Amino acid sequence: MKLPAVFPLLTAVLLSLPSYGADGPRLTLGAKFTGNQSCATTGCHGGGTIHNESIIFERKDPHAVSYGILGKGTSLRMAEALGIKGDPAKSEQCNVCHAPMQGLDANLFVKDLKPDRGVSCESCHGAAENWLRFHTRPDVDFKQIVAAGMRDLNDIYGRANSCVGCHLNLDESLRKAGHPELFFELDGQCAAQPPHYRDARPSLGPRSWLTGQAAALREMSWKLSNKGDENFLPRWKAMVWLLQKTELGKQELPVSEDFPTMQKAADGLARKAAQKLWTKEEVGAQLKGLAALHAEFEAGKADRAQMQRKAEVLVPALDRLWRDLVKGGAPNAAEGETSIRALHVLALDHEDFDPSRFSGALSQFSGNLAQASNGAPSEAKKK
Ligand code: HEC
Ligand code: HEC
Ligand code: HEC
């Protein structure tokens, strides 16, 4: 079996092997994939309104069509630049993420199964061979199903691990050939996936955000310690900077530029972050601390390109924490969002990032925040 050594997690994710997330070897080593069709029957997840996960997925989820994109415009140009002969969908350089089942050996599928084309149910939920038949039985609990190899995606740490494998580490050669740079932020990306499940647990947003960013730091550290992809260094530094502005990050992350050390510490941080419940006060205080960083962006204090990378990770943090803070209604929720959108536009300007404009916009955002936390609603101010 030939599996590309792209990054530590992806192959582990696909094969349900123990990854960082597993507490020990699973029972399912070697479990086979049963395919989307085995989930999609009407009596199961392709039903009317109750269990319609497959319908939502097929109709709306970009993962369902992640394969199709490989045969078109940008992909073909990229393939040419990379010297990929023939169909990019057949190339491991692309299908590891876009068509993960296509690159696997036939013996990893149940008999006669035609592998799913795009990212499929089992890419996230795990190979179903050993739990498919019994996971709906009323006398079987979730623990038993997980023991039989279903990924526990309720565990936020496990969830982050299942996404980050495809959503961050891209080889520099692909980026140079025109692939969009990849960014990972668990909370926002979960929200952006057309929902086929509901998860309304308390402080899920901040927990997911911090867990996901720690997992991203771990993966970048891994990448830098292996192939030393220098292009990742400013992004790595920015993520370390951001995470060290959080309480847990201060405790867990060393001040170190040694990548293996940081990889281990970031994994520890991700595990802790997944468990931490945030109070509203903590979310407010974290936001306040982050908004106060506007002073660091004043022009001339540091390298502009490095500042842009910092802004790039700071804005999603503001976005996710703000959404959590104003969840359930706050008079100036919309104003805060507008400020964040403006910051987002400034942060994404790789070519001409303007630290002092960013600093100004960030300090304006601090203003929204002050209002939100003293409960001095903007309506009252207008009167
Ligand atoms: C096997 C690889 C793989 C895994 C695992 C995976 N994704 Fe994706 N995801 C992709 C690919 C490839 C695309 C691009 C699809 C396209 O545009 O054709 C994508 C696109 C997306 C998009 C739309 C584009 C964007 O970034 O806004 C979202 C949202 C998303 N994924 C969220 C998630 C989340 C959340 C998880 C984990 C629960 C996850 N993905 C797990 C491969 C994966
Ligand atoms: C590490 C996983 C990974 C690999 C390897 C990868 N991609 Fe992607 N690709 C993604 C993800 C994730 C997205 C979605 C990014 C987003 O929207 O934020 C994406 C987006 C794209 C897009 C843009 C889609 C859009 O809607 O704008 C194209 C085109 C693409 N990939 C083609 C390719 C080709 C061709 C290859 C092989 C040469 C390849 N990808 C290899 C993960 C990957
Ligand atoms: C990109 C990753 C991803 C893909 C692909 C995916 N899921 Fe999910 N799914 C999740 C996450 C994350 C959750 C939330 C955690 C949980 O409930 O286990 C979830 C939850 C669920 C749930 C639990 C719903 C509930 O409310 O408790 C079902 C059922 C489900 N998925 C079925 C499917 C089916 C069927 C497919 C394929 C058609 C699929 N999923 C594809 C990530 C994914």
Q: Convert the pLDDT of each residue in 103-124 to its tens digit.
A: 888 889 998 888 888 999 999 9
Ligand 2 center–CA 362 separation, angstroms: 31
Give me the pLDDT at residue 19, please. Answer: 39
Give me the pLDDT at residue 373, please. Answer: 56
Give me the pLDDT at residue 4, please. Answer: 38
Q: What is the mean pLDDT of residues 283-298?
A: 94
180 ligand 2 Cβ < 6 A: yes
Give me the pLDDT at residue 160, please. Answer: 97
Give me the pLDDT at residue 331, please. Answer: 81
Q: What is the mean pLDDT of residues 143-154?
A: 92
Give me the pLDDT at residue 13, please. Answer: 47
Q: Which residues line ligand 3 (CB under 6 A)?
A: 36, 39, 45, 53-54, 57, 63, 119, 121, 123-125, 153-154, 159, 196-199
Nearby residues of 116 by Cβ (< 8 Å), 6 or more positions away: 33, 35, 36, 101, 122
Ligand 1 atom with minimal separation from the 68 CA: 18
Ligand 2 atom with minimal separation from the 70 CA: 35
Cα 220 from Cα 262, distance rounded (Å)? 10
Cα 123 from Cα 99, distance rounded (Å)? 10
Ligand 2 center–CA 118 separation, angstroms: 12
Q: What is the mean pLDDT of residues 11-16?
A: 46
Quote the percentage of the chain above a pLDDT of 70: 87
89 ligand 2 Cβ < 6 A: no
Q: What is the mean pLDDT of residues 314-343?
A: 93
Place of tokens 């999603």: 316
Closest listed ligand to the CA of 73: 2
Closest listed ligand to the CA of 68: 1
Ligand 3 center–CA 319 separation, angstroms: 24
Give me the pLDDT at residue 24, please. Answer: 32
Instruction: Report DSSP state, residue 37.
Output: G
Ligand 1 center–CA 167 separation, angstroms: 7
